[in-house]
Amino acid sequence: MEIAEGLTGNRETEGKQPTNHHLTGPTGLTQDEFEYLKQFIIEHHTYYVAPEHVNVISGLPAATSTERLDILDDDRYITGFSITGGEHRLRNYRSVTTVHEFDHHDGKRTVVLESYIVDVPEGNTGEDTLLFADTVVRLNLQKLASVVQRTDRDGNGDGKSLVG
């Protein structure tokens, strides 16, 4: 893992550590494509945390949930939110989702990057929380992919890209 660099501190980050990133490319991307995406991972998917209290994980299930939109940038394709209350296992939960387009040898590609941070609930292990949250994120991204594919198949998309 590489630690994200180049991020400035403020009152919110004083005395806290930046989260670590798994900076190895996922299946389906070349190393050059992933190198291009690293800048966005470091810029938008780094959280400052007190390491003894939180783990970086993915997920968002809830019986009930009160959420706050933290960022919505249509020009840069960024959205983020925090959970501020509700009946669920995800306390102090924050997320950021970004969309990136780049040229690939067989045409344009669109990649969605999603990151989350949440406290591990009392009585749970970090591993349990990670498994639980990763499953939810994977299902949400699969649903997003199926909606995009259906939209494209039904003639509502251009078949090439979600961005632009």
In this structure, what are the phi and psi dihedrals at residue 114, rounded to the nearest 5 degrees?
Answer: -130, 130
Task: Show me where the domains of the chain are located.
Answer: 2-151
What pTM value is reported for the model? Answer: 0.59
User: How many C-beta atoms lie closer than 10 Å to residue 21's C-beta?
Assistant: 17
- What span, in angstroms and rounded, lies between the C-alpha atoms of 4 and 127? 23
Query: What is the predicted pLDDT for the residue at 23?
Result: 59
- What span, in angstroms and rounded, lies between the C-alpha atoms of 9 and 16? 9
Q: Contact at 8 Å (CB) between 97 and 79? A: yes
Q: Output the tens digit of pLDDT for each of the chain's 164 residues.
A: 233 333 333 445 555 555 555 556 666 667 777 777 777 776 666 655 444 433 333 344 556 767 778 888 888 888 888 777 777 777 777 888 888 888 878 888 888 888 888 788 889 898 887 787 777 777 877 887 887 788 777 765 554 444 44
Q: Right CATH number for 2-151 from 3.30.530.20, 3.40.50.720, 3.10.20.30, 2.60.40.10?
A: 3.30.530.20
Nearest to 134 by CA among 82, 24, 56: 56
In this structure, what are the phi and psi dihedrals at residue 38, rounded to the nearest 5 degrees?
Answer: -55, -40
- In angstroms, the Cα distances linking 48 to 51, 83, 90, 111 are 9, 17, 17, 24
Sign of CA dihedral 23, 27, 61, 45: positive
Query: What is the predicted pLDDT for the residue at 140?
Result: 76
